[in-house]
Amino acid sequence: MKNDKSIPPEPEGFDMNICKLVEEFQSEEKCREYLEGLRWPKGVECPRCHSKEIARVKERDQFNCNACQYQFSATSGTIFHDSHLSLWKWFLATYMMLEAKKGVSALQLKRTLAVSYKTAWYLCHRIRNALREQNPLPLRGTVEVDETWIGGKARGRGRGYKRNKVIVAGAVQREGALRLQLIGHADRKTLHRFIHQSTAPDTEAIYTDEWPAYRSIADHDTRHETVNHKAEQWVNGKVHTNTIENVWSLLKRSIIGAYHKVSVKHLDSYLDELEFRYNNRKNEWAFRDALLKLVSAEKLTYEQLTNGKSKKTSDGAKNAPRHKTALSQAGN
Ligand SMILES: [Zn+2]
């Protein structure tokens, strides 16, 4: 029976599939155990006093700290805790979000999980927020940079700000990671700042199109080469921006296909989701790593979300509000 060619190989680069998900996480108990292992890989620890003298209160899924008497559970203090949603629904939603190349809409989750639209919407946002890369490593090697307009008609660069549109800047390392950011203007200052924030100082090469704002990005250890799209030149030897162009088409298809309409206010969280999916495309532990991020994530209340004050903009000291410029420009 070995090497039966009729059986398709497991999809590469993903540690989870729907059958495994049902087998391994069909009960609250199993999900809870898994989260416990992720949260305390070296044994349960009191979140309050960090003591490891813990008594397990099995029938209530709780722990009792012998040192400070604090009672807690595997989900205490995590985004799962105040949620009325079963853990397996969180797991399933996370799986669906990672697995769908073009993303999952709140409407789709509403149907699959049999929850209200509001619950599904809030769930999506909390997952995306948790998936956000907190300390992204700088890109190096060969990096493609481009920017695109989202909302309204196809890309119309250089025609000034348009109220119903926002601009997304993207940088992608060849065979490497992706960084996306909402920007207010596609001007030289903004794009140069984005490139300096996303790439290492000794990045070998930066490939862009001929947009003048990218000029002079080169320095003594970084080449800058361009392809001239206006002259229908798409590839010039190794110089092209096809990788980042592919990301744009993925982003646009997901906005049209899965989300139908993305409000400007929440676009940054869709970018976080896309980034996570892209940057973990070869990570065979993507599902585990996503849950690890969820169990370690800061809470995000419904009010923070709907007031447009997500965690990342409310505590500016810790995380600079990376999308603030564009969000205020967009006027909602
Ligand atoms: Zn304690």
Q: Is residue 57 part of a domain?
A: no
> Does any domain span residue 159?
yes
Residue 72 lies in a domain: no
Ligand 1 centroid distance, CA of 171 (Å): 45
What pLDDT was estimated at residue 12? 52
Residue 26: inside a domain: no
Distance 62 CA to ligand 1 centre (A): 13
Considering the domain architecture, whether residues 144 and 116 belong to the same structural domain is answered as no
DSSP state of 124: H
Give the pLDDT confidence score for residue 325 in this predicted structure: 33
Please tell me the predicted confidence (pLDDT) of residue 40: 95
**113 and 142 both lie in a single domain:** no
Q: In this structure, is residue 19 part of a structural domain?
A: no
Note the pLDDT of residue 269: 85
Residues forming beta bridges with residue 208, ordered by sequence position: 226
**From the CA of 28, how far away is ligand 1's center (Å)?**
25
Residues 233 and 267 occupy one common structural domain: no
CA 268, distance to chain mean position in Å, is 9
In a domain, 160, yes or no: yes
Task: Report the b/e string of 315-331 with b at 16+ CB within 10 A.
Answer: eeeebebbbebbbebbe
Structure token pair of residue 97? 């979000």
- Specify whether 214 is located in the same domain as 307: no
Per-residue pLDDT, 159: 47
What digits encode the pLDDT tens for the residues 90-125?
999 999 999 888 888 889 999 999 999 999 999 999
- Tell me what pLDDT residue 48 has: 95
| Cα gap 75→252, rounded to integer Å | 36
CA atoms within 13 A on the CB side of 204: 7
Distance from Cα 2 to the centre of ligand 1, integer Å: 52
> In angstroms, what is the span from residue 79 Cα to ligand 1's centroid?
20
41 alpha carbon to ligand 1 midpoint, in Å? 18
- Whole-number Å distance, alpha carbon 43 to ligand 1 midpoint, is 14
Q: How far is the CA of 33 from the centre of ligand 1 (A)?
A: 20
CA of 47 from ligand 1 middle (Å) equals 7
Strand segments, DSSP code E, in 107-255 are 142-150, 166-173, 178-183, 205-209, 223-227, 235-236, 239-240
Closest CA to 174 of 226, 221, 224, 244: 244
- Cα 58 to middle of ligand 1, angstroms: 18
| Number of structural domains found in the chain | 2
> Do residues 253 and 277 both lie within one domain?
no
Positions in the chain whose pLDDT score sits under 50: 1-11, 153-159, 161, 309-332
Cα 55 to middle of ligand 1, angstroms: 11
The reply to whether 239 and 255 lie within a common domain is yes
Cα(54) to ligand 1 centroid in Å equals 8
Same domain, 145 and 215: yes
Kindly list the distances between the CA atom of residue 65 and the CA atoms of 33, 71, 332, in Å, as whole numbers in the listed order: 18, 6, 46
- Which domain, by its residues, includes 307? 83-131+263-332
Alpha-carbon torsion 79, 84, 90, 93, what sign?
negative
- Whether residues 158 and 89 share a domain: the answer is no
Compute, in angstroms, the gap from residue 65 CA to the centroid of ligand 1: 5
CATH number for 210: 3.30.420
What H or E segment, with its residue span, contains residue 324? helix 324-330
Model pTM score: 0.81
Residue 70 Cα, ligand 1 centroid: separation in angstroms?
A: 5
Is residue 195 domain-shared with residue 302, that is, in the same domain?
no
Q: Please give the distance, rounded to the nearest whole angstrom, from the Cα atom of residue 40 to the centre of ligand 1.
A: 14
Residues in the chain: 332
Ligand 1 midpoint to CA 301 (Å): 26
Ligand 1 centre to CA of 49 (Å) is: 4
Instruction: Give the per-residue pLDDT at 156.
Output: 47
Asked whether residue 166 is domain-assigned, the answer is yes
Residues 144 and 254 in one domain: yes
Whether 268 and 257 map to the same domain: the answer is: no
**Residue 38 lies inside a defined structural domain of this protein:** no
Q: Please state, in angstroms and rounded to a whole number, the distance separating the CA atoms of residues 128 and 118.
A: 15
Same structural domain for residues 224 and 109? no
pLDDT of residue 41: 94
CA of 25 to the centre of ligand 1 (A): 29
Contacts of 153 (CB under 8 A, 6+ apart): none
Q: How many CB atoms lie within 10 A of CB 129?
A: 24
